[in-house]
Chain A
Amino acid sequence: MAHEARSAALREFFTPLVGALGYKFTPDTELADFLLEQEAVLEENKGAPYCPCQGRTRTREHDMTIVCPCIPYHRAHFDAMRRCWCGLFVHLDVTDPAVLPQIAASELGVEE
């Protein structure tokens, strides 16, 4: 992993933040490692560890809402899915993230 050190640092930094929000890292360690590496790449190339699965608009107002962990900005949507959009974080009580699909906020009747 080319960005192993930064990925590890992001994991350490995020753990208490998302814990306070009722979330934890996905038990799917392969997925978590991949997503953290992508965030390290985005941080290096684009200036912040943006969500790897949400598009930037290069407007500060929007892009701030997709800097990981972006849970507070998408709380209703993520709580309804019991995971964040990219799947890096799941609700504390989730043991099998494979059963939690991505569902658009509009389909859940919540704000994105």
Chain B
Amino acid sequence: MSDPVFVYSLSTCPWCRKAKEYFADNDVAFEAVDVDLLPDDESDRLADEAYSLSGSRAFPVVKIGGEVIVGYAPERFAVLLETQA
């Protein structure tokens, strides 16, 4: 896979936690950031980055390769991971 999986998340969001658990449980290398726990400037920058990818302020925003999924969607994660493998 050319790009790592990246999860934009909120520390207060249980679906963000589930998304991270999904990748951990399936031994998928991923990076994640809790946007709300960052200093304001950095938080704004990453929130805007997630918004530019997803067009939404909803979390989680999951980037798999060149694809972006908004929300916890394990079936779709699996399909994208398969196509990216």
Residues of A within 8 A of B (CB): 31, 34-35, 38, 41-42, 52-58, 62, 66, 85-87, 101-106, 112
Contact = CB atoms under 8 A, between A and B. Distances in A.
Given A55-B59, A102-B72, A38 B12 contact: yes
Interface string B11-49: 011111000000000000000000110001000100100
| Residues of B in contact with A, size category | 20 to 34
B14 A31 contact: yes
- Secondary structure at chain B's binding surface: helix, strand, loop or mixed? mixed
Contacts of B15: 53, 86-87, 102
Contacts of B36: 55-56
Nearest to B13: A53
Interface of B: 10, 12-16, 35-36, 40, 44, 47, 50-51, 54-59, 69-73
Contact of A53 (B51, B54, B58): B58
B34 to A, nearest CB: 11
A106 B36 CA distance: 24
Contact of B14 (A35, A41, A56, A104): A35
